[in-house]
Amino acid sequence: MKLIRNVFIISILAFFVNLGFGAVMPLLPFLLLSYEGKLTDLPENLGKIPEASVIALQMTVLMAAFMITRALLAAFFGNLSDKTGRKKIISVGLAIYTVISLGYALATNWIELLFVRAVQGAASAMVWPVAEAMLTDSVPWSERGRYMGWYMTASNISFFIGPTFGAYLYKMAVIVFHFGLPFSLVFPFYILALLSLIGFILNFFTIETVTSSRKMGFREALRNGVSTGYEDIIELPPEISKSIKVIYIMGLANGVAMGLVAPITTVFVIQYITSDPAAIGYLSTIAGFVGFLVNYPAGHLSDIIGRKKIVIIAQIMTRTVTFLMPFTKRYEDLVILYSTRAAAFNIMSPAYRALQADLVPRKLRGRVFGTVQSLFNVGAASAPVGGYLYEISAKWTFNILGYIVPGVAISFWLSTAIGIFTTILFILFVIEPTKELKERIST
C-alpha cells in the first residue's frame, strides 16, 4: 500500500509536464510558418493559410528527430531501470526536459528546433517508459487497469487543458504585453520549462520499486550488457511469448500509422479549416475533455470484463475517424471527429497498457515497455514520408461520388490501412491471460 503513492505522484508529475507540452504544441506550426515568412499578420487574422503545406515536411522531420532518439534509447533506459532502479533515471530525464524546454524559446530557425526535438526525445526515453514500469510495479495486477486509468486521466486532463492554456498564454502575450511576432508565439515555451521543473521536484517523493537485492550500479549494469530481453521472452509460455512478439510488431506498425498523420493534422486544419491558434486550442481541449470522461471508467471496466475486447472496439473507432478526417470541411465536424478519436484513444490506452503488464513478468517489465516504445518510435520516425506525401498531394483533389476531397487524404488513408492491419494482428494473435497465468507472471 505504501507504493500506491507512486501512482499519484507519477500521475501529478505527468500532469504538469504534459500540461506544458499540450500548451505549446499547437503553436509550433505557427512558429515554423513565421520562420518561412508566411505569417504576414497574427495568425487569427488570416482565416486560413493556403500555403501551410510548405511546413508539412518540416513538421514531420521534427517529429522524426524526437522519435529516432527516443527509439534508440527507450529500450536501453527501460532495461537499465530494471537493473539500477527507476527513480534516478526519471530524475535525470526530467532535468534534461527542463533545460531543453528553453531551447524552443531561444531557437531562431527550424534547424535549431530539430536539435531541441532530438534532445527532448532522449529525455522522453528516460522518463515515460520507466515511469510506467514504476507505476505498474507499485500496484497489484488485479487493479492495474484502474490505476493506469488514474495515470492516463491525469495525463489527458493536462493535454485537454494544455492547448487552451497555451492559447491563453499566447493571447496574453499579444493583448496584455503587446508582444509581436514571433515572441508572442514562444512566450508559452518559458512556461513549459517551469512546469517541467515542477515535475522534476515531484519525482523526489516517489519510492524506488526495484529492490536492493536486484539493483546494480550503472557501471556494473553496463558491463553486464543491456539487451532487449528477447532471450528471456522466448522462454516464457508459448502463448505469452507469441503475444509479446506480436505487440512488438504492432508497436512498429502503429508508429508508422501515427507518424503519417499526427504531425500533419494541424497543418491540414490550418490550411483547410482555420488558422486561429485559439480555435485549434479549443479543439484539442474539447476533444481532451471527452477523453478524460471515458479514460478512468474504461480502465476500471477492463479490470472487470477483460482488456482485449475493449482494445478491439477502440481500435476500430480510431481507424474509422482517421479515414474520415480529410472529408471534413467545417470546424463543427472537426470537433466531432477529434472528440471521437480522443474517446477511442482513451478507452484503449489504459486497457492496452494493463494488458502488456499482465503479459510481462516484473523482472522484464522495464525492458519490454521500453522496447515497445522504441519500436513505436522507430515506426513514427517514418513521419517525413507523410510530410512528403502531404506536400506533393496538396496540389491534387479526388472526386468521390461527387464529393471533392483534397489530395492530402492519401496520408490519412494509408495510415488507416496500416491501423486495420495491426487490429487484425491483435485479434488473431494476442491473448488475454487467465487469472492463474497473471498470478504466475506477477510473482
Give the pLDDT mean for 125-142. 86
pLDDT tens digits, one per residue of 247-281: 999 999 999 999 999 889 999 999 999 999 888 88
How many CB atoms are located within 10 Å of the residue 219 CB? 9
Domain assignment present for 392: yes
212 located within any domain: no
d(CA 232, CA 219): 22
| Residue 333: per-residue pLDDT | 94
**Dist CA 97 CA 194 (whole Å):** 10
Say what the pLDDT of residue 228 is: 46
Answer whether residue 220 shows pLDDT above 80.
Answer: no
Binned at pLDDT 50, 70 and 90, residue 44 comes out as confident
Q: Is it the case that residue 200 has pLDDT exceeding 50?
A: yes
Reported as a single tens digit per residue, the pLDDT across 176-194 is 988 888 888 888 889 888 9
**211 within a domain of the structure (yes/no):** no
Residues 6+ apart with CB under 8 A from 99: 193
Rounded Cα gap, residues 77 and 395, in angstroms: 43
Share of the chain above pLDDT 90, in %: 33
Q: Is pLDDT above 90 for 2?
A: no
Closest C-alpha to 146, from 364, 34, 304: 304
Name the residue among 344, 338, 346 with its Cα closest to residue 296. Answer: 346
The DSSP line for 181-248 is TTHHHHHHHHHHHHHHHHHHHHGGGS---S-TTT---HHHHHHH-----HHHHTTS-HHHHHHHHHHH
The pLDDT score that the predictor gives to residue 443 is 58
- H/E stretch holding 404: strand 403-406
The predicted-structure confidence for 69-94, as pLDDT tens digits, reads as follows: 887 887 788 888 888 889 999 999 99
* Band (1; pLDDT cuts 50, 70, 90): low
Q: How many angstroms separate the CA atoms of 129 and 270, rounded?
A: 32
The 3-state DSSP class for residue 37 equals: coil
pLDDT tens digit string along 281-337?
888 888 878 887 887 788 889 888 989 999 999 999 999 999 999 999 899 999 999
Q: Is residue 57 a contact partner of residue 388, using CB atoms and an 8 Å limit? A: yes
Residues 47-73 as b/e (b if ≥16 CB within 10 A, e otherwise) read eebeebbbbbbbbbbbbbbbbbbbbbb
In a domain, 216, yes or no: no
Cα separation of 245 and 107, whole Å? 41
Q: 158: which DSSP letter? A: H
| DSSP, res 400 | E
In angstroms, rounded to a whole number, what is the distance separating the alpha carbons of residues 272 and 409?
Answer: 12
Report the domain count for the chain: 1
**pLDDT at residue 338 tops 60:** yes
pLDDT digit string, tens, across residues 350-360: 889 889 888 88
CA distance 226 to 220: 11
HSE-CB of 209 using CA atoms within 13 angstroms: 29
Residue 364 lies in a domain: yes
How confident is residue 5, by pLDDT bands cut at 50, 70 and 90? confident
Q: What range does the domain containing 430 cover?
A: 4-206+227-442
- The pLDDT assigned to 92 comes to 94
| Distance (Å, whole) CA 135 – CA 3 | 9
- Is 217 domain-assigned? no
Residue range 31-50: average pLDDT? 88
User: For residue 23, which of 270, 260, 268, 195 has the smallest C-alpha distance?
Assistant: 195
Is 319:393 a contact under the CB 8 Å cutoff? no
198 in any annotated domain: yes
Query: What value, to the nearest 5°, has the Cα angle with vertex 370 and ends 364 and 376?
Result: 135
Q: What is the mean pLDDT of the chain?
A: 86
Give domain status of residue 213, yes or no.
no
Q: What is the pLDDT of residue 56?
A: 92
What CATH code is carried by the domain that includes residue 374? 1.20.1250.20
